[in-house]
């Protein structure tokens, strides 16, 4: 078991990767920093529940993602106008279908975040989740548009292989959204 004294030394090794995940979820560096700091403090308080020291990074990654999701839920609740639009939009949506969509969306995000090299995961998230254009991704990542297109193409190939491994079909990607650029898994 990881000692509380040793925790911050080990957690510091993953801070950069955690910040990248938080940034991709939050869209700005300020909120990403906050989410990672909150997650690290939360994890420190729950350190007794970490059974295997080798699982520290996946455990911290999940806590960061949950912190980001919690902030989105809180923001969503406090913004009445958006809440009313969302209610109207999803008024007739079956709760089971909504749960299925959210589960698939989370699974796809986890798959995207697991793609190596990290630069591929970054362009996928910016393109599909943040709806950035090639130029915007180029500006954000400080690489040329050609490099962005190349990384995105390679990342899509890896993503499709991972979809196949996880049993995610074109029906699943259609179910979760209006993202016309989703790579289409073969069924």
The Cβ of residue 30 has, within 10 Å, a number of other Cβ atoms equal to 9
Least confident of 66-75, 81-90, 108-117, 131-140: 81-90
Q: Tell me what pLDDT residue 148 has.
A: 92
Q: Tell me what pLDDT residue 47 has.
A: 87
| The two three-digit tokens of residue 82, written as one number | 């958006």
Query: Which DSSP state fits 174?
Result: H
Q: Tell me what pLDDT residue 145 has.
A: 93
- The full 3-state SS of 97-162, as one line of letters, equals HHHHHHHHHHHHHHHHHHCCCHHHHHHHHHHHHCCCCHHHHHHHHCCCHHHHHHHHHHHHHHHHHH
Question: In angstroms, rounded to a whole number, what is the distance separating the alpha carbons of residues 27 and 123?
Answer: 13
| The two three-digit tokens of residue 141, written as one number | 């990542």
Which domains, from first to last, does the chain contain? 4-80 (1.10.1740.10), 94-176 (1.10.10.10)
Counting residues of the chain whose pLDDT is more than 70, the rounded percentage is: 76
Residues in the chain: 187
Question: In angstroms, rounded to a whole number, what is the distance separating the alpha carbons of residues 182 and 175?
Answer: 11
- Band of residue 92 on the pLDDT scale cut at 50, 70, 90: low
Residues 6+ apart with CB under 8 A from 168: 104, 107, 108, 111, 185
Q: Render pLDDT for 135-166 as a digit per residue (tens, 0 to 9).
A: 988 888 889 999 999 999 998 888 888 888 88
Maximal CA-CA distance, the chain: 51
Q: How far is CA 172 from CA 41, 75, 100, 125, in A?
A: 36, 27, 9, 18
Residues 6+ apart with CB under 8 A from 105: 176, 177
- Band of residue 24 on the pLDDT scale cut at 50, 70, 90: confident
The Cβ of residue 54 has, within 10 Å, a number of other Cβ atoms equal to 10
Helices and strands per DSSP (H, E), number in the chain:
10, 0
| pLDDT over 60 at 183, yes or no | no
Q: Tell me what pLDDT residue 123 has.
A: 87
Question: In angstroms, rounded to a whole number, what is the distance separating the alpha carbons of residues 115 and 85?
Answer: 34
Question: In angstroms, rounded to a whole number, what is the distance separating the alpha carbons of residues 109 and 128?
Answer: 10
């Amino acid at each position: 078991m990881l000692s509380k004294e040793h925790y911050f030394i080990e957690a510091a090794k993953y801070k950069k990767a955690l910040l990248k995940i938080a940034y991709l979820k939050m869209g700005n560096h300020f909120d990403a920093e906050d989410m990672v700091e909150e997650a690290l403090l939360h994890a420190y308080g729950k350190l007794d529940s970490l059974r295997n020291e080798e699982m520290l990074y996946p455990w911290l990654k999940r806590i960061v993602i949950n912190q980001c999701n919690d902030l989105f839920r809180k923001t969503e609740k406090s913004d009445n106008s958006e809440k009313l639009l969302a209610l109207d939009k999803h008024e007739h949506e079956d709760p089971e279908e909504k749960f299925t969509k959210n589960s698939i969306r989370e699974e796809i995000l986890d798959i995207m975040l697991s793609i190596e090299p990290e630069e591929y995961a970054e362009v996928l998230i910016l393109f599909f989740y943040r709806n950035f254009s090639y130029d915007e991704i180029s500006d954000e990542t400080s690489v040329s548009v050609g490099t962005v297109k190349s990384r995105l193409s390679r990342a899509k190939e890896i993503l499709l292989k991972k979809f196949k491994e996880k049993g995610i079909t074109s029906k699943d990607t259609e179910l979760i959204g209006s993202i016309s650029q989703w790579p289409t898994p073969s069924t």
